[in-house]
Homo-oligomer: A and B are copies of this chain.
Amino acid sequence: MSRFSVTTLGTASAMPTVGRGQSAQVLSVHGRFFLIDCGEGVQNAMVRFKVPMMRIDSIFISHIHGDHVFGIFGLLSTLGMLSRTMPLNIYAPPAFGPILKFFLSYYGEGVRYEIRFTPLKMKEPEVIYRCPSVEVKAFPLNHGIETFGFIFAERPAPLNIRKEAIEKYSLSLAEIGSLKRGEDVRREDGTVIAAEEVTFRKMVPVSYAYCSDTAPFAEEVEWLRGVDVIYHEATYLKEFSDQAVSRMHSTTADAARCALAAGARRLLIGHFSSRNKDASLYEKECREIFPASFAASDGDVFDITE
C-alpha cells in the first residue's frame, strides 16, 4: 500500500446521478486517514470502498453547499453508534459552526467522542494541521460563499547517514547526531565532513491539493505551485463556460490550465455536471492542455507518490 493515496468517494456535482456520489475524498497518509468533504452517502461509500471509517483522523469541509456536507450527519451518527472515543477534528468555514450545533442539539446524544471544530478564516495559505508525517494548509477558493482548498504535504523525512560513511570516517555518535540534523562536522584536524555528502533521505516528500468548488482566481496558480498532484473541480465542458462563470465553477480548460501553470505532475478532475454522463469527454478536454489529466470515478484510488 502506498504511503500516500487518495480515494475519490464521490465525483458528481450537486445533482444526483447513477454511479456517482456527491463530493467526498479520503486521503491515506502514513497510516492516517483524512476525509475531505462529506457529500450525501459518504458513509455508504466508505463501507463500499473499504475505507476504515473509525480511523478518520480529521474532516476538512471546503464549503457548506449541500452536496459537500449533507453526508456528515449520518457519518457523525454512525461513528457514535460504533462507539468511537477518539476525538475528531473538523476544519470548515465558520458557517459550518451552526450546522454542527444544530446536528449536536438534535442528534448529539449518541456522539460520545469529542468533536474539535476549527473555523477557517484565512485569506491566504496557512498551516492548519501538522503531525510528524504531514502538514495541511488551507487557502481560500473563489466560489461565492466562503470556500477553502487544502494542500496536504508530506513533511521531509529525517536525514539518514550512509552506512559506508560511518566506517570511512569512524563517525562518533555525537558526529552522527550533528550530521543527521544537517550540520557539517569540522574535526580538530581540520577535516570537514559535509552532511550533504554522508546523508540521504529515504523519500522525496510529495503533496496533494484539493480545489473544489471554485472559479479560477488570480492567486490560485501561485498557491498551488510545486504541488505534485492537484485535484481540481471541472464541473463544465468548455462549451458551457458561461455557466461556469455565472455559477463560479471551473471548466475543464480552467482546471487544466491551472495544473499546467502550477507545474503539477498530475491533475485529477471531478465534480462533473450531470448534463454529460461521459467523463471521458472531460478528461479529453483537459488532456488537450495538460496531458497528465485523469477523470476520477467513485472508488478510484490514486497513488500520490507515483
| Cβ B107 vs Cβ A66 within 8 A | yes
For the complex formed, measure the closest distance between the CB of A110 and the CB atoms of chain B, giving whole angstroms: 9
A218 within 8 A of partner (CB): no
A245 within 8 A of partner (CB): no
Give the distance in Å from the alpha carbon of A138 to the alpha carbon of B80 in the complex.
Answer: 31
Give the distance in Å from the alpha carbon of A289 to the alpha carbon of B98 in the complex.
Answer: 49
Report B-chain residues with C-beta under 8 Å of the C-beta of A93: none
A117 within 8 A of partner (CB): no
| Cβ A40 vs Cβ B71 within 8 A | yes
| Cβ A15 vs Cβ B70 within 8 A | no
| Cβ A43 vs Cβ B44 within 8 A | no
| Cβ B18 vs Cβ A47 within 8 A | yes
Report B-chain residues with C-beta under 8 Å of the C-beta of A21: 44
Report B-chain residues with C-beta under 8 Å of the C-beta of A22: 74
For the complex formed, measure the closest distance between the CB of A222 and the CB atoms of chain B, giving whole angstroms: 33
A64 within 8 A of partner (CB): yes
A residues in contact (CB < 8 Å) with B: 14-18, 21-22, 40-41, 43-44, 46-48, 64, 66-67, 70-71, 73-74, 77-78, 81, 98-99, 102, 106-107
- Could you write out 17 A-B pairs with CB less than 8 Å apart? A14-B77, A14-B78, A14-B81, A16-B78, A17-B44, A17-B47, A21-B44, A22-B74, A40-B40, A40-B41, A40-B74, A66-B74, A67-B74, A70-B70, A70-B73, A70-B74, A102-B102
